[in-house]
Amino acid sequence: MIKIIFFAALREQLGCGDYQLSATEASTVAEVKAKLVALNPQWQSTFENQSLLSAVNHDMVSGEHKVKAGDEVAFFPPVTGG
């Protein structure tokens, strides 16, 4: 399985904090996103937001980054700490 988590405004907009996909359903971060939207059409506009960031196993990555079983994939808005 691939564990997927959402943070901050994104989590509130989706009304959902985490999700799971089978590793056969997506091989890149972009495909994870596409799959999430395919399974939850109401999320489409939220995921179309170009500024969303993604991380795999705690490292910031781009959409082409590969994912595999056991990975933790996170999506979140631009960070605003400090």
Does the protein bind another protein through residue 4 (CB under 8 A)?
A: no
Is residue 47 part of the contact set for another protein (CB under 8 A)? no
Distance, CA of 79 to CA of 38 (rounded, Å)? 26
9 binds another protein (CB under 8 A): yes
Helices (H) and strands (E) in the chain, counts: 3, 5
Segment contacting another protein by CB under 8 A, of 26-34, 38-46, 50-58, 61-69: 50-58
37 and 64 in contact (C-beta within 8 Å)? no
Among 20, 50, 51, 64, binds another protein (CB under 8 A): 51
